[in-house]
Structure 1
Amino acid sequence: MPRYLTEQDIADFRARLCEVATERFAKLGYEGVTMRQLAEALGCSPKTPYRYFKDKADILATVRAQAFDRFARALEGAAKAPPGERGRRTTEAYLDFALKNPHAYRIMFDLDTPIDDSHPELLEACDRAATYITRGAEQMAAAGLIDVDPQLFGWATWAALHGIVMLRQSGMLKHGPDYKALSAFHAALMRKGAAPERKRAQKRA
């Protein structure tokens, strides 16, 4: 007689499956992973994963949603800083997440699979992360800390941070500056965003 699965049993298996899938999708890409391979890695029958997920696309959507959710939480933590520190804290939070979670980061940005209404949890988590940096830039603009279009500033910041992460993950920083030095330099550039307000304050004085 098969063992009755508790809600905790189900949650634990889903978590293990997502952990294995995250690593394999990041290393091998979507086409390089099969449900049979995932089952073998978990030591279960090929049919077992289908009891918890519809198919491979469902697993990928779930692990990407989890990654974007964790990413958004990391960035939102930077929002607790004073406006003048928010740019530096955002830079640090972004790069710290990417450094400590390389597989999750690749899952989020490297795989060319749709993010749409077919997986609402993924869409919601992605939108939450995608709007954070531009929202933070809007808050900085409202506080008079930057004197540029906040949407462009936010997206330019994101592009620069993503570029730093990709250079490191591809090994290209072996031919360039240290990752921490480059990160610190970017944070210094972010602090320059406060320059317009300081100049106005000096003129008023």
Structure 2
Amino acid sequence: MPKALSDTETEAFRARICQAAAKLFVEEGPAAVTMRRLATELGCGTMTLYRYYDSKEAIITAIRTRGFDRLAQALENALDTPGDGRTRSRNVRDAYIDFARGDTATYRLMFEYPQTHRDDPSYSRAHARLWRCICADTRVMIEEGTIQADAPILGHQVWAALHGAVMLEIAGLLPEGFDAASLHTRTFVALMEAARPKPAS
């Protein structure tokens, strides 16, 4: 009879399953992610995986859910730092880039591929949490009076520019001398300049 795992050990093994599946998914394609292949990668029996997830689809949904939650937590922590809105926004940007660089396979799986199982309650909650984070730093700058804008719209514009810069860095397609942060900074400055409060006429 298998030894019962502690909650910490169970969570650690779930994380290993998700990391292995994400790597296979983005490097070899969705068809490479099978319970048999994952068991081989992890050095365990196929039936062991079914103690944690009941299907390949459940694993992919878990990767996205866990990824959204981890990224949201990183962005929330970055926003909850001293300084004005611009400083805190820069911290959010850096946390976002660090996440993408630190777990590139999960990041790519979160955003590059069609989303399935959107009605899964945990997935829906994590997805909504991340989208709240996307415009949170923009909201701070609006409340400070630094800019005038529709927070969700401008927040998504800023995020789209950041995501694009990150994906170009991952693909090795940035111009020489640029990384994701330096490229995004230029776009961010232009967006903030356009959103500066207009003097009363």
Taking structure 2 as the reference length, the TM-score comes to 0.84
Q: Answer yes or no: is the 8 Å Cα contact 1:74–1:93 preserved in 2.
A: yes
Residue equivalent to 2:58: 58
CA separation in 2, counterparts of 1:112 and 1:194?
A: 32
Write out aligned runs for 1:17-166 (5 A): 17-81=17-81, 82-117=84-119, 119-166=120-167
CA separation in 2, counterparts of 1:87 and 1:142?
A: 13
Amino acid at match of 2:64: R
Residue equivalent to 1:4: 3
CA separation in 1, counterparts of 2:146 and 2:194?
A: 6
Report how far residue 59 of structure 1 moved: 0.9
Amino acid at match of 1:16: R
CA separation in 1, counterparts of 2:61 and 2:26?
A: 13
Q: Is 137-146 or 185-194 further displaced after alignment?
A: 185-194
Secondary structure of 1:47's aligned partner = helix
CA separation in 1, counterparts of 2:4 and 2:78?
A: 40
Q: Answer yes or no: is the 8 Å Cα contact 2:161–2:184 preserved in 1.
A: no
Q: Is 156-165 or 124-133 further displaced after alignment?
A: 124-133
Over the aligned positions, Cα root-mean-square deviation in angstroms equals 2.4
| Structure-2 change in CA distance of 1:137 and 1:20 (3 Å) | same
Secondary structure of 1:161's aligned partner = helix
Write out aligned runs for 1:149-188 (5 A): 149-173=150-174, 175-179=175-179, 180-188=181-189
TM superposition outliers: structure 1 runs of 4+ over 6 Å? none
Taking structure 1 as the reference length, the TM-score comes to 0.82
Amino acid at match of 1:102: T
Q: Answer yes or no: is the 8 Å Cα contact 1:21–1:59 preserved in 2.
A: yes
CA separation in 2, counterparts of 1:12 and 1:135?
A: 30
Q: Mind listing any 5+ residue stretches in structure 1 that lack a counterpart?
A: none
Aligned residues: 196
Report how far residue 172 of structure 1 moved: 1.2
Secondary structure of 2:137's aligned partner = helix
| Structure-2 change in CA distance of 1:40 and 1:127 (3 Å) | same
Q: Answer yes or no: is the 8 Å Cα contact 2:62–2:123 preserved in 1.
A: yes
Amino acid at match of 2:48: T
Identity across the alignment (%): 35
CA separation in 1, counterparts of 2:187 and 2:101?
A: 16
| Structure-2 change in CA distance of 1:192 and 1:85 (3 Å) | farther
CA separation in 2, counterparts of 1:11 and 1:167?
A: 32
- How far does the alpha carbon of each residue in 1:183-202 deviate from its partner, in whole angstroms, 9 at most, with x for none? 44345446647843xx76xx
CA separation in 2, counterparts of 1:129 and 1:157?
A: 14
Report how far residue 26 of structure 1 moved: 2.7
CA separation in 2, counterparts of 1:13 and 1:95?
A: 26
Q: Which has the higher contact order (CA 8 A, sep 6+)?
A: 1
